Structure 1
Amino acid sequence: MRGAIQKLTIGTYENSDYDKRIQSGAFKAFINPTGYSVTYKTELEPGQAPGTAKTDLKYVASPSTDLQLEFLFDGTGVTEANSGIKLINKIKGKAFKKTSVKDQVDAFYKATGQVSGPIHKPYNVILNWGDFEFKGVLAEFTVEYKLFDNEGQPLRAIGKAKFSESISPKLEAAEKKNESPDVTHKRTVQAGDTLPLMTERIYGDSKYYLEVAKINNLVNFRQLKPGQELFFPPLEKVS
């Protein structure tokens, strides 16, 4: 549905090949995170030549990327009421039911961090939110309980989760092959895109844009429209 709010979803998988799916929507955020942060790391080794005062850092490796998110778990019923669910249930003659904070937290951890019996480890997961996708495993999960009822039951909590990227060598090789300029790519024009810019992204050089224009039968390559689909053939066919 166009204009509908896209919810963050988490799918579970047996391994880091992501070819054996357990459940596509193991967890769906009722309230989307307000944002997320991605940490890219570079492992460096210090080196210093004799008689010099400065350190010469040497590249060693690129450790896994980390993704940090904060989830709001609300058991007050306020968010459900504001979402229209309460009204829908009333129209359907159903009783309005609140989901406890404990049940929400348990559902998240079951999908991301709980050890699964058959595979003897937590699931690998794929997080999807709009066009954003992240493959990895849960590295840390901290829950801060913020509000309680008269009986001491939590009514609101903040879940801080860190996921570390985890991709098998087999999948990494396949993804690199798909990104190679030696295979055909299909791209959708986004606002602000130009043909030279898109050509630069695919081939690493914008000089092929006229050949790409011919292949796509573009009368005026300067007037690309958002949503327009273009094909970028293997490099050998445009060079």
Structure 2
Amino acid sequence: MAAVRASVARAQLTLKEPPAAVGAKPGGTIAQLNLQFNPNSLQLRKSTEWRRTPSRMAGESALPEFVGSGPRELSLEVFLDATSKHDNSVEQAVEKLMKGCVPTPASLARKKPASPWVRFEWGSARTTSFDGVLSSLSVTYSLFDVDGKPLRATCSLSIEEASVDPPGQNPTSGARTARSTHTVVAGDSLPLLAWREYGDATAWRVIAEANGIDDPMALVPGAELVVPALGDVGGEEER
């Protein structure tokens, strides 16, 4: 019996309404672009940040202290071809991509302008599939009809990660939506972290409760702290 050949997985780009609040999930789908041709290559980047404290007594450079990791950034090229289509134009697909670079009407109505969140999906790939925002987009038209309509285009775009997988429930505080996480470095304290995150050093108790910390000054370098969302902070202060 002849083996059945699996169908080719097609890549797609989905634009979704940006979250209405910090820590929330993206909203409904604004536009979806099913790619005619799968990319020839994908470039995935991720950076880490280190800090060194100069030492006058050290004969060599000081040991680096891990500060945190940057977001993933995916770069790819999308090839569009409308020579065999009835409308003979690639502009409709380009306009969908352009929507990813401007604030959505719903976010403008909330007076919190934000561009759509973008997700690239291709089969079962996981490392290249994440919620992000378009950090750059360039379009090169390479073929035109006699009336000037662009028939072919190459779109180069970069998607920067906008969220990370939630860390889940904290065993000491129960379920809590996390705004972010922070890796402790030497010299950190909860009042300092609260000032950086909320602009209010007195809000350190919210972070302490979320992580089961009794002494706000005794933090262990390398430990990862959950920093609650702004809504959680407001809820604590109202109690």
Where on the TM-score scale, by shorter chain, does this alignment land: which range? Answer: 0.5 to 0.7
Select which of 117, 120, 123 maps to 1:130: 123
Task: Determine the C-alpha separation between the residues in 2 that align with 1:33 and 1:160.
Answer: 11
Q: How many residues align?
A: 156
The counterpart of 1:106, out of the listed 90, 95, 98, is 95
Q: CA RMSD in A?
A: 3.0
1:74 matches 2:62: no
Alpha-carbon distance, 1:34 to partner: 1.4
Q: Secondary structure at the match of 1:109?
A: helix
Match of 1:146 among 142, 147, 155: 142
* Aligned-partner residue type, residue 172 of structure 1: P
Match of 1:6 among 2, 6, 9: 9
Amino acid at match of 1:131: S
Q: How far does residue 152 in structure 1 lie from its aligned partner after superposition?
A: 3.8
Shift of 1:141: 0.7
Answer yes or no: is 1:39 the counterpart of 2:45.
Answer: yes
How far 1:162 moved relative to its partner?
0.6
In the TM superposition, residue 176 of structure 1 has moved relative to its aligned partner by 10
Whole-Å separation in 1 of the counterparts to 2:169 and 2:155:
31
Structure 1 segment 201-216 matched on structure 2, within 5 A: none
| Partners of 1:46 and 1:58 within 8 A in 2 | yes
Aligned residue type for 1:106: E
Check whether the contact 1:13–1:19 (CA below 8 A) recurs between aligned residues: no
Q: CA deviation at 1:36?
A: 0.9
1:124 positional shift: 1.5
TM-score computed with the length of structure 2 as normaliser: 0.55
Identity, in percent, stands at 22
Question: Which residue number corresponds to residue 203 of structure 1?
Answer: none
Which structure shows the bigger proportion of residues in helix conformation?
Answer: 1
Aligned to 2:61: 54
Q: 1:117 aligns with which of 93, 99, 105?
A: 105
TM-score (norm 1): 0.55
Counterpart amino acid of residue 92 in structure 2? D
Q: What code does the residue aligned with 1:166 have?
A: A
User: Does the 8 Å CA contact 1:141/1:159 hold for their aligned counterparts?
Assistant: yes
Q: Which moved more, 1:155-164 or 1:25-34?
A: 25-34
Change (3 A) 1:17 1:5: farther
Question: Deviation at 1:21?
Answer: 3.4
Q: Which runs of 5+ in 2 are unaligned?
A: 109-113, 172-239
